[in-house]
Amino acid sequence: MLLFPGKIIMDYSHAAGRVGSRFLAELKKSKRLLAIRCRTCNRVYIPPRLTCKTCFHNMEDWIELDGRGTLLTYTTVYYGEPVLDREAPTTYGIIRLDGADTGLVHFLNEVKQQDLRVGLRLEPVFKNERNGNILDIKYFRPIKSG
């Protein structure tokens, strides 16, 4: 198989939809993390989505999560990407927020590489000036005890 390397960087707009727009608007306005629950199977999604991917019912039950969660898995990338507003290395994690059944992908920071582990308890750090974007959460960091 022949592979031709290439690169596409372009501006675009993506419609967040009714459910995604409410989630992002609350994040921007008040740093509230809203999830949505399926009345049929009780599965809780964050980011929220309109239709339950387990039982295909539309969802309307919004619940607020406090933002704390548990690290499910993580990886560190040692090269930079022009679309990111941060320099390498960059660590990503999948975090299951307390009360949710799904994982949220986000950056991890304020943690040493040797201290990363599955099960680490995390909390979000928000930007002061928010734009209605998932990156209004700057990153997740370990919850400081005490």
3-state SS class at 2: coil
Question: Which residues of the shown chain bind Zn ion in the complex (CB under 5 A)?
Answer: 38, 40-41, 43, 52, 54-55
d(CA 53, CA 49): 9
Q: Which is nearer to Zn ion, 45 or 139 (CB)?
A: 45
Task: Provide the strand spans (E) within the chain.
Answer: 33-37, 44-45, 61-65, 69-77, 90-97, 103-108, 121-126, 137-142
Length of the chain: 146
Q: Which is nearer to Zn ion, 30 or 58 (CB)?
A: 58
Please report how close the Cβ of residue 19 comes to Zn ion at its closest, in angstroms.
Answer: 14
Please report how close the Cβ of residue 58 comes to Zn ion at its closest, in angstroms.
Answer: 10
Please report how close the Cβ of residue 38 comes to Zn ion at its closest, in angstroms.
Answer: 3
Q: Which is nearer to Zn ion, 51 or 131 (CB)?
A: 51
